[in-house]
Amino acid sequence: MPESRNSRLTRPETLTALGIIVAAAGFLIPTTALRPISALLPAAMLVGLIVLSVALLVSDQRKARAGEPAKSMTQAPKRVIGAFLLIVTYALACDFIGFYVSTAVTIPLVAWIFGYRSPIGLLIATVIVVGTIWAIFDFGMSQDFPTGRFWGH
The three-class DSSP label of residue 85 is helix
C-alpha distances in Å from residue 35, one per residue of 9, 32, 38: 38, 8, 5
Q: pLDDT digits over 15-64, tens only?
A: 889 999 999 999 999 989 888 887 888 888 899 999 999 999 999 999 99
Model confidence pLDDT, tens digit, residues 106-153: 999 988 888 899 999 999 999 999 999 999 888 888 888 888 888 875
State the Cα–Cα distance between residues 146 and 94, nearest whole angstrom.
7
For residue 114, the tally of other CB atoms under 10 A from its CB is 9
Distance CA 86, CA 105 (A): 12
Measured in whole angstroms, how far is the alpha carbon of residue 98 from the centre of its chain? 18
- The answer to whether 31 touches 42, Cβ cutoff 8 Å, is yes
Q: What's the whole-model pTM score? A: 0.63
